[in-house]
Structure 1
């Protein structure tokens, strides 16, 4: 899907965040953002979870042949004694032999450039544990979005060298010439990294990304040749991730019996602090731009809305495949989404927004008006930081108010009907998709909005 219209916008507008401009003198002395884990639970305004094995988004093993199932249970992730605790456990869960957790600030805290410090106590890596502290670009799909691996421990080469608990690495990944490019490096620490808390520091500016542990530098990447080396990804906002994987390509262990690291294994994060002093630095906090409760217009011209998308400015309608515009009177206002899909080809469309904080709408519903006569199955979806979530519309099944008689009907889908929605970070507010229909399909959709409870 083409995202160029979004990328061409000023980044803060594209993300729908509040972008903070902070005086350089203040930035040089105090953090512009920090997380101290001083509460009693993980703050959902700062962190969300990746859950499962990755298969639900088409990358089983999270793209690395990892062996764990990520959960959001307190057994695997919790705040305890002023630390974030990420715990990997050997237990059969949803068909996987291990559990653990992966947290991220996607849709909540994004930044470009700065000095990022974290005080972390890693577990004994042994054979099979893979603690990681890293970042992903906020726009696009991997590797186009970019990846910065600040800290990784447990590499197969370190295991082979007897240095599994002393060798720490960093890496970057990006798109070069239409393919995946990467650069990585490592250093051997004088003692076992898991013996105590260590301070991992990344400095990121328009010229370099550098990473140290307790002052020992182990990674450096020059990023100033933006055009020549196709390094645009490293000059755009990223978000943070913290996880503790079990097995996988990085460790060289693909069999659960090969994991001999002590379990349960715990990664403790005491604090994270971000400092920024470069004039091109950006900090974007999603919570500062939460959409007020009420009715939010996704594709609607009705009055009295709490807010609405502005197509051509902060939203775009993308036709993905096999949809030809047709003439049809709207339900309200002057426009409607009216399309014909030919038999034998899949079809789909989506309204791209990128990162809207719709948390005030939790417990509410997606509402729209639709008219069609098709008996074919189609899906209505929303894309959030958890990926795509769909509700099936099958002839004779739950249709949430839709009658397939060619007349206008209001459809109401409770957000609870969608699987794994992160309403703090909604990226595509409305989608329609279907497998190849047996006959031509006509769909007319209008007055799409979110309704809070």
Structure 2
């Protein structure tokens, strides 16, 4: 997949202490998925949902035609397989549906041998199955991308080899722009006739990919500084999806799709082996924050946990916020800023990935004082992207009174759209369009409260 994630606001994250080295014997998987249960494991997999428009990249950056859902019609466990099914149906304004699953915030790794036994659909003219990885740090293309398997390329269609041509690729940032390298191979049989084993080996020198033992992609990555390849020496997470149409297939309208539908991508198992001393493995469920009160920006005692600014969290001022002197609501520090009229303003608290799933059904609480009548937004960034709640003068303000006095604001997490509390990356954000007059904001005592 050539381009998948973009954020309207600056984003950078470091997994830092959440990662630990995980050397293992080469014949023993350090992590695996066998899909032997009755449902998709939500502690390992989550979904991208929609068309991408909700995060500013309609068509997921590739002019794809499907609407991704988390419905069992499009993604399920069946007969020991993960089934990803693309369907021709009108859904939320799109002519097709399918699914895209990922392990973001749940399973990340650096270096190792990754194997998967997959049976792809008959791609015909328009289906695009993909098994790939994205870097867990940064924004595309800075985060890096490793495409282990893609089938259905426009050139393969033109050559009558759509169901035999398999490709691999990498994408990264070089000199401030998007760089990529890809290779293809024409397999001697139709790929959808049977399960195939796709293997990626990734170490500090090379990324190599093979199908049933036949290598079809290689990228040397040891020249980190000269070729600007830092992305490929950082942890990545997995993605599995079945797209319909898009730039890879060369088809941008529903009438051009002649592939047999419904089409199913079957994943029998996935196994990760690691034996390099610099390998890393992060399992998000192993580091869930306990329930209670979690201090995002608070000096209270008796918290279940708290961010440590300068070590595992940073406050980033994005634009047009000048610090001003002010007494805190509690403790010794407070956020106190003035924004100039006529220019947007915003800030965010950046962390490593945080598993805040114990706080589902709970509340974001903070104290705030202001007199502005301007509209602003309070947000949280998770693996699903940015999610915002609007504060409009005269509308619902969740306890805020704009009288210049401190008031407790309490926003149920249910008020945020598409929030993945298993993988929180920015625990608190404020943003606003250009105000008509100068704005002063004072924020303190930010907490996550479990039910």
TM-score over 0.5 for the pair: yes
Aligned pairs for 1:18-417 (under 5 A) are 18-22=19-23, 24=24, 27-417=25-415
SS in 2 for 1:355: strand
SS in 2 for 1:61: helix
- How far is 1:39 from its partner? 1.1
Q: Deviations over 1:359-388 (max 9, x none)?
A: 000000000000111111000000000000
Q: Deviations over 1:280-318 (max 9, x none)?
A: 110111111000000000000001100000000000000
- How far is 1:3 from its partner? 6.3
Distance 2:226 2:73 in 1: 47
Residues 129, 151 of structure 2: 8 Å contact kept: yes
Match of 2:437 in 1: 439
Match of 1:12 in 2: 16
Give the TM-score normalised by structure 2: 0.97
Q: Deviations over 1:342-362 (max 9, x none)?
A: 110100000001310000000
Distance 1:46 1:249 in 2: 29
Provide the aligned C-alpha RMSD in A.
1.0
Residues 298, 429 of structure 1: 8 Å contact kept: yes
SS in 2 for 1:194: helix
- How far is 1:18 from its partner? 5.0
Distance 1:287 1:293 in 2: 14
Residues 21, 278 of structure 2: 8 Å contact kept: no
- How far is 1:38 from its partner? 1.1
Residues 135, 149 of structure 1: 8 Å contact kept: yes
- How far is 1:20 from its partner? 4.7
Match of 2:446 in 1: 448
Match of 2:4 in 1: none
Distance 1:20 1:37 in 2: 26
Residues 128, 260 of structure 1: 8 Å contact kept: yes
- How far is 1:255 from its partner? 1.2
Which 4+ runs in 1 deviate beyond 3 A? 1-4
Residues 329, 445 of structure 2: 8 Å contact kept: yes
SS in 2 for 1:157: helix
Distance 2:191 2:10 in 1: 43
Structure 1: any 5+ residue segments left out of the alignment? none
- How far is 1:19 from its partner? 2.2
SS in 2 for 1:416: helix
Q: Deviations over 1:132-163 (max 9, x none)?
A: 00000000000000000000000000000000
SS in 1 for 2:396: coil
- How far is 1:106 from its partner? 0.2
Residues 18, 288 of structure 1: 8 Å contact kept: no
- How far is 1:21 from its partner? 2.7
Residues 18, 289 of structure 1: 8 Å contact kept: no
Residues 368, 406 of structure 2: 8 Å contact kept: yes
SS in 1 for 2:358: helix
Residues 18, 286 of structure 1: 8 Å contact kept: no
Match of 2:418 in 1: 420
Residues 348, 426 of structure 2: 8 Å contact kept: yes
Residues 12, 284 of structure 1: 8 Å contact kept: no
Distance 2:316 2:26 in 1: 43
How many residues align? The count is: 443
Residues 338, 444 of structure 1: 8 Å contact kept: yes
Q: Deviations over 1:397-431 (max 9, x none)?
A: 01000011111110000000000000000000000
Distance 1:85 1:202 in 2: 21
Residues 130, 153 of structure 1: 8 Å contact kept: yes
Distance 2:263 2:22 in 1: 40
Distance 1:332 1:69 in 2: 46
Distance 1:21 1:278 in 2: 9
Structure 2: any 5+ residue segments left out of the alignment? 1-8
